[in-house]
Amino acid sequence: MSREIPSELIEEAVAAALRVREHAYAPYSKFHVGAALIDSNGGIHVGCNVENASYGLTNCAERAAVAAATSAGNRDIVMCVVVTETSPPAAPCGACRQVLSECDPTMRILTTNPQREDTWHMLADLLPHAFGPTSF
């Protein structure tokens, strides 16, 4: 698929992120997050946050979605959708930004909430000067 993503596919990804957010396991923070990645073939891969009493072992929704895409055999991610409850919607945390930095730095990230307060970002703007494969 080209880097121009059809609006219908974006809406499908938002709906998928909203649905998977309902499965988040967040007994400590009560902060439920759903993420959906669109790959270059138009596939959608989802993830939700899974907390742990040992906070360092918590897995964020975006990283869970990257693991799902990788497990499905596609790491060519062209867009990321993140759904939170907050207004304005929260952007990916630093760890997730670093994991997403393995994607195209011009990748678009849509942060939204159930009320659809959409905010668009470019990955490179969220993590300028990222450490990556060309850094060493």
**Residue among 120, 92, 91 nearest 108 (CA):** 120
The CA dihedral of 63, 68, 72, 73, to the nearest 10 degrees, is 10
Catalytic-residue membership of 62: yes
Pairing status of strand 34-39 against strand 77-83? antiparallel
Of the residues 11, 62, 85, 117, which is catalytic?
62
H/E stretch holding 100 reads: helix 94-100
Dihedral sign (CA 50, 51, 56, 57): negative
Please identify every residue annotated as catalytic. Answer: 62
